[in-house]
Structure 1
Amino acid sequence: MVTETTKARAPCPEFSEAEVESAGKEVEMPKAASPSRINTNLIYSVEDVPPWYLTLLLGFQHYLTMASGTIAIPILAASFLCLEEDDPARGTLVSTVLVHSGIVTLLQTTFGVRLPIVQGTDFSYMMPVITLLTAVHPPCATLSLANMTREAQQEEWLGRIRDVQGAIATVSVFQITLGFTGLVGMLTRWITPLAIVPTVTLVGISFFDLCGDKIASHWGVSIMTITLIIMFSFYLGNKAVPQSVLNTGGRACFFLVTAGTKMLKCFPVVLAVFLAWGLCAIFTAYDVLAPGSAARTDTKGDLLQRTPWFYVPYPGQWGWPRVTAAGVVSMLGASVASIMESIGDYHACARISGAPSPPISAINRGVFVEGLGCLLAGLLGTGSGTTSCSQNIGVISITKVASRRVVQISGVILIVSGLVGKFGAILVTIPEPVMAGVLVVMFAMITSIGLSSLQQVDLSSSRNLFILGFSIFFGLLLPKWLTRNPESLLGTGWAAFDQVLRVFLLTPMMVGGVVGCVLDNTISGTPEERGLKKEERVPEDSDEECYNLPWITPWIKSHTFRLSWMRFLPVCSTYLRKPNLSHQV
């Protein structure tokens, strides 16, 4: 029983009866909630550890949420790498991406920003990858791959992915430097909302032609996939799905009931892909689909049989990266867009998780770890960089489970699934029209995410309207015109510089982002008009335990006076904090 004195001293509803009882008579009133937090009614907070069986289930849920978008990138990249449909390297590429995503997720949640954020491949890197491969190498359609020997085909695609590896690995040094030195804050002063909007928006819009070609392989299956995603996400997302519930009592039972009512909304893409994929398999078995149709599930030949059961990706598996100036320039814009997207994800995840706003040291570590992830991606050869998965933050808002341990388990699941080579090969057999439907939805969401930053700026300002419209329009116009008129590109006579200039001008996100950044920082406007907020200083006594590095921070704080210099290290938990003089004994 809880005494009357305890009840009187603990009226705050944030404490459960069991917590008040265990605290005895010395329960203190909680601190006022930080304005950066939101009332989430969390079932599990960042530091909580659910029971092992729930942790596995929740981790698998995060895995399913990000898997469809993650595997779409290597499958898309394979067509520009000139990989044949039945080449086992397609499955190996997917396995490599899954293992890499799992490793970076564990690093980010343990030593990076330490929020429950899943790391995965990023679509913002795909446009520079495609531009690099099409500007430096001949189109795959002109190579007559069917008439080439296996050795010639392998040498062709290995040369292409080595160029991509070199570009990503080199640009990762830029990202690592920004995070480790704390220059991220300085960079954000110049990259304003009106620079972010055209950059991110053009990432989605730039894939308009590509999606049109992919979806045209079978309009019926593609539209069916898109319709299923929309139905599961919006029309049926809030409908209760009958399922058996294990009545274990307490928090576990409450979670299972909540998750059951949001099942369709939690897994719209996964459910749509498996349903459309299954229907294609049935149509293939009964010959409803014409022979040779892209929607058939038997077009990959003996890919599954030729893929090994287990495969361990390793650095240099495709050969060592090959660095070119054109590749580095093409990836630079993608890296900046990825950094800005990740910083926004950090703050969004903190709000949804009920955690205080991430301090600058945590943001620095987050960008630093993502840079290490891109370096690892370049060495392994994933075909793309890495960033935070925004869709998994939405899972937290739905399930009310913000446990860091859950996301760490999802990282382990990613690694295990990637090591099983047959699993990656099975995913590659998803018909192209099904993946085309997923890509249309994904790129549409990326476009809208880019436009969402406009809520920060004053859209009644003619200045802002001009910068927004001109940067997006010109970012589409110039690359499209140069693609149709390649002979019009100015030549300086310096082959390396001409190649760099060509890749830069053919990348819409680079052109639009640079134009928007230059115009917004040179045309006069008030901070409120431009959507700039004053930087908030974190109080010295702010509750930021969830961002402290495990094992390292307690050791630093126990030697605060002797290690006071570490408060000048941007990735240290004590960054810009005064040393505790009580340790001067």
Structure 2
Amino acid sequence: MNNKTGENSVHDGPDSIVEVEAFPQLQKPFGSSSKSAISSKSVESLIGKDDDAIQYGINDVPPWHTTIILGLQHFLTMIGACVSIPLILAPAICIGNDQVALSELVGTIFFVSGMVTLLQTTFGVRLPIIQGGTFTFLTPTFAILSIKGDCPAPLPDDATQDELDEATEVWQSRIREVQGAIVVASIFQVIIGFSGIMGFILKYIGPLAIAPTIGLVGLSLYGAAASRAGVHWGISVLTLGLVIMFSQYLKNINVPIGIYNSNEGCHTVKFPMFKLFPVILAIVISWIFSAIFTATDVFPTNSTEYGYGARTDINTDVLKQAPWFRFPYPFQWGTPIVTVAGVFGMLSGVLASMVESVGDYYACARLSGAPPPPDHAINRGIGIEGIGCILAGLWGTGNGTTSYSENIGAIGITKVASRLVVQVAGILMIVLGLFGKFGAVFVTLPDPIIGGVFCVMFGMVTGVGLSNLQFANMNSSRNIFIIGFSLLMGLALPWWFGANPGIIDTGVEEIDQIITVLLSTSMFVGGLIGFVLDNTIPGTDEERGILTWRRLLSTADESEMEDPAKTYDIPFGMKYIRSKEFFSYLPFCPTFPAPGCKSSTDEEVYGEDNPGLDTQM
């Protein structure tokens, strides 16, 4: 679940319900990483050790077979979130019964997520962070699409080709407007990142602004969860019950598996299956039950009867219709449409995503045994995420990209922080995004299973947002008022605008649309109110939670950390960059000094005989 929240970070995606361990403020830095890829660690690195020592550090290269397995594990950890985004968007963009188009949307988001993951780990913050779709873009997306009105009635089975073409143009025109808003709004993120003013913005954003912003992302999506779960509450409860059981009750139970290696021969190791893959296991089990009930006609065969949507044979035709291979490409749905209202609305999601990502960077660094990311790395990370969102807009995922905390939590479990492993996961995303049948498989998921996952997922998003309040003094009547009023107005005002469409009439259509989109976006309303009240109502930094937050961000045991230069320097050209003073004035260059500090000379960082690292990946 996309739930990075400043310093307290858990992220987008259903599997993030197990990633509470990714909270940097709850973790002590792990020991220094090993510097050699010893084959006897291959399997153990996959499952982790009992101690807190990092098995493979950020710059380490595990054996190739271990790297592939660990990369696949990261892919499986993030798969739930990537699949969820297009499934949530489908009704809003009026994709209707065009399940092949939906499968193409799924393939596209995997493809783009893989590309951006490679960009982020190679040129961005350079931490082992997976990139994928974000829930923070959903609320403004729904507000933007609400202006375009309701979807047309579903087409009959005997629809003509002209009717099919018209229906296709309807959903493509809607997603093009979302694309345009994402592309232009993300330019703002690129500027904020590469200009280095993110740190200035964070000075005024505290827990009392972040909590309602992120909390309302989950609360505002309750309708999507309820509508899917309500198709058959029995299957939905089974799904969410399994997720809860695996992730909460069985998370500390490891499953013994048999493995073989040349050093120890055949032996068993314990694998934290329930902790790593609670959502995937729950989906598979519920899917099996639904298939059995479908085959035995326990579920009705009449589409008008309750429970019909739980059948597994409703969308199976998409497996035949979807192509084996399809290469996603820019502007595949047409040229993006830019509207002023859409851009302003999407900016709220962009800003929330940026703040969350900063928290994820610190969480990932702490769990990876790396030093806290310096300013230049954070600036590059935010800038690359903005570029990733632009790519997502151009390719037409209907969403942006951001850092995934569930994968950061997986690092805490496996103790494997190798950057190469995450880059392999990115390659897997790209490759599987090219297979049309792969995306089609997820389209066949029955609605009640999706609804059950959504119930847990959106609840966790809400909880993670509210967990930021641990930094603030919640015995203060000031803080209680701010958070309560922000949450209430974040729900009340968008509801009122939804119930009274067209109520804003200034005489200028563009202004009407901007006001309507912004005030229909719950996270914008709640976050803005929290931000304004927190910065205007008198209160000490300690009362507001600012002091605790900053203290946690700066806490690190440098004796156990990797060399920051090796971790955050870009992979090539460092010798040249360090030789030119000009680069020290660029906020995204490794030679950019921290505020009040001098930048390190080559000799200070590497010694006289080694003036730069030009070959690291």
Q: Which residue identity does 1:169 align to in structure 2?
A: V
Aligned residue in 1 for 2:257: 243
- 1:556 correspondence with 2:556: no
Aligned residue in 1 for 2:166: 152
Aligned residue in 1 for 2:419: 404
Q: Give the distance between the partners of 1:398 and 1:428, measured in 2 at CA.
A: 31
Q: CA RMSD in A?
A: 2.4
Cα distance change, pair 388–14 in 1 and its aligned pair in 2 (3 A): closer
Cα distance change, pair 414–359 in 1 and its aligned pair in 2 (3 A): same
Tell me, yes or no, if the aligned pair for 2:33 and 2:54 is still in contact at 8 Å.
Answer: no
Cα distance change, pair 390–15 in 1 and its aligned pair in 2 (3 A): closer
- 1:281 correspondence with 2:296: no
Q: Give the distance between the partners of 1:424 and 1:542, measured in 2 at CA.
A: 41
- 1:497 correspondence with 2:508: no
- 1:393 correspondence with 2:436: no
Tell me which of 174, 177, 181 is aligned to 2:188.
Answer: 174
Tell me, yes or no, if the aligned pair for 2:103 and 2:443 is still in contact at 8 Å.
Answer: yes
Q: In the TM superposition, what is the alpha-carbon distance from 1:480 to its structure 2 partner?
A: 1.2
Q: Give the distance between the partners of 1:116 and 1:301, measured in 2 at CA.
A: 37
- 1:137 correspondence with 2:155: no
Tell me, yes or no, if the aligned pair for 1:294 and 1:432 is still in contact at 8 Å.
Answer: yes
TM-score by length of 1: 0.88
Tell me, yes or no, if the aligned pair for 1:40 and 1:352 is still in contact at 8 Å.
Answer: no
Tell me which of 398, 402, 406 is aligned to 1:383.
Answer: 398
Q: Give the distance between the partners of 2:273 and 2:448, measured in 1 at CA.
A: 25
Q: Which residue identity does 2:377 align to in structure 1?
A: A
Q: Give the distance between the partners of 2:355 and 2:372, measured in 1 at CA.
A: 16
Aligned residue in 1 for 2:109: 97
Tell me, yes or no, if the aligned pair for 1:204 and 1:444 is still in contact at 8 Å.
Answer: yes
Q: Counterpart of 2:99 in 1: which secondary structure? A: coil
Cα distance change, pair 253–352 in 1 and its aligned pair in 2 (3 A): farther
Matches within 5 A, 1:222-371: 222-249=236-263, 257=269, 260-291=270-301, 292=303, 293-300=308-315, 302-371=317-386
Tell me, yes or no, if the aligned pair for 1:65 and 1:392 is still in contact at 8 Å.
Answer: yes
Aligned residue in 2 for 1:7: none
Alignment: residue pair count:
541
Q: Give the distance between the partners of 2:314 and 2:138, measured in 1 at CA.
A: 25
Tell me which of 568, 593, 605 is aligned to 1:547.
Answer: 568
Aligned residue in 2 for 1:71: 83
Matches within 5 A, 1:523-534: 523-533=537-547
Tell me, yes or no, if the aligned pair for 1:86 and 1:302 is still in contact at 8 Å.
Answer: no
Q: In the TM superposition, what is the alpha-carbon distance from 1:249 to its structure 2 partner?
A: 3.6
Aligned residue in 2 for 1:88: 100
* CA displacement 1:515-568 (0-9 Å, x = unmatched): 1111111111111111113585999x97442111111224323x2xxx012111
Tell me, yes or no, if the aligned pair for 1:59 and 1:410 is still in contact at 8 Å.
Answer: yes
Q: Counterpart of 1:458 in 2: which secondary structure? A: coil
Tell me, yes or no, if the aligned pair for 1:99 and 1:414 is still in contact at 8 Å.
Answer: yes
Q: Higher mean Cα deviation, 420-429 or 241-250? A: 241-250
Q: Counterpart of 1:245 in 2: which secondary structure? A: strand
Q: Counterpart of 1:243 in 2: which secondary structure? A: strand
Aligned residue in 2 for 1:578: 599
Tell me, yes or no, if the aligned pair for 1:108 and 1:370 is still in contact at 8 Å.
Answer: yes
Tell me, yes or no, if the aligned pair for 1:85 and 1:299 is still in contact at 8 Å.
Answer: no
Cα distance change, pair 525–16 in 1 and its aligned pair in 2 (3 A): closer
Q: In the TM superposition, what is the alpha-carbon distance from 1:87 to its structure 2 partner?
A: 3.2
Q: Which residue identity does 1:263 align to in structure 2?
A: M
Q: Give the distance between the partners of 2:369 and 2:599, measured in 1 at CA.
A: 26
Q: In the TM superposition, what is the alpha-carbon distance from 1:122 to its structure 2 partner?
A: 0.4
Larger of the two Rg values belongs to structure: 1
- 1:165 correspondence with 2:179: yes
Q: Give the distance between the partners of 2:411 and 2:555, measured in 1 at CA.
A: 27
Identical amino acids, percent of aligned pairs? 47
Aligned residue in 2 for 1:126: 138
Cα distance change, pair 112–221 in 1 and its aligned pair in 2 (3 A): same
Q: In the TM superposition, what is the alpha-carbon distance from 1:15 to its structure 2 partner?
A: 9.6
Tell me, yes or no, if the aligned pair for 2:32 and 2:54 is still in contact at 8 Å.
Answer: no
* CA displacement 1:471-515 (0-9 Å, x = unmatched): 11111111112222336x332111111011111111110100111
Q: Which residue identity does 1:286 align to in structure 2?
A: T
Q: Counterpart of 1:524 in 2: which secondary structure? A: coil
Tell me, yes or no, if the aligned pair for 2:129 and 2:403 is still in contact at 8 Å.
Answer: yes
Q: In the TM superposition, what is the alpha-carbon distance from 1:144 to its structure 2 partner?
A: 4.2
Aligned residue in 2 for 1:187: 201
Q: In the TM superposition, what is the alpha-carbon distance from 1:332 to its structure 2 partner?
A: 0.8
Aligned residue in 2 for 1:204: 218
Matches within 5 A, 1:422-433: 422-433=437-448
Q: Which runs of 5+ in 2 are unaligned?
A: 1-30, 38-50, 612-617
TM-score by length of 2: 0.84
Q: Which runs of 5+ in 1 are unaligned?
A: 1-12, 20-38
Q: Which residue identity does 2:540 align to in structure 1?
A: T
Q: Give the distance between the partners of 1:552 and 1:253, measured in 2 at CA.
A: 46
* CA displacement 1:446-465 (0-9 Å, x = unmatched): 11110111111111111111
Tell me, yes or no, if the aligned pair for 2:107 and 2:433 is still in contact at 8 Å.
Answer: yes
Q: Give the distance between the partners of 2:36 and 2:104, measured in 1 at CA.
A: 50
Q: Higher mean Cα deviation, 384-393 or 210-219? A: 210-219
Q: Counterpart of 2:402 in 1: which secondary structure? A: strand
Tell me which of 514, 519, 522 is aligned to 1:508.
Answer: 522
Q: Higher mean Cα deviation, 407-416 or 278-287? A: 278-287
Cα distance change, pair 247–87 in 1 and its aligned pair in 2 (3 A): closer
Tell me which of 532, 536, 551 is aligned to 1:522.
Answer: 536
Aligned residue in 2 for 1:32: none
Q: Counterpart of 1:377 in 2: which secondary structure? A: helix
Aligned residue in 1 for 2:583: 566
Tell me, yes or no, if the aligned pair for 1:117 and 1:389 is still in contact at 8 Å.
Answer: yes
Q: Which residue identity does 2:116 align to in structure 1?
A: V
